[in-house]
Amino acid sequence: MLVNIVKKGEIVSLRLSTGEELVGTLREEDTKEVTIEQPLIVGRSEKGLGLMPYLMTVEPESTIKISTRHIMSIGATMEEVAKGYKKQTSKIVSL
Q: Are strands 21-29 and 48-53 parallel, antiparallel or unpaired?
A: unpaired
Whole-prediction pTM value? 0.86
pLDDT tens track for 23-41: 999 999 999 999 999 999 9
7: left (phi over 0), alpha (psi -120 to 50) or beta: beta
CATH code of the domain covering residue 24: 2.30.30.100
* pLDDT given at position 1: 47
Question: Is position 24 within any domain?
Answer: yes
Q: Measured between alpha carbons, how far is residue 9 from residues 19, 32, 47 in Å?
A: 24, 19, 29
Question: Is position 4 within any domain?
Answer: no
Integer Cα distance of 33 and 31 in angstroms: 6
pLDDT tens track for 42-87: 998 888 888 999 999 999 899 999 999 999 999 999 999 999 999 9
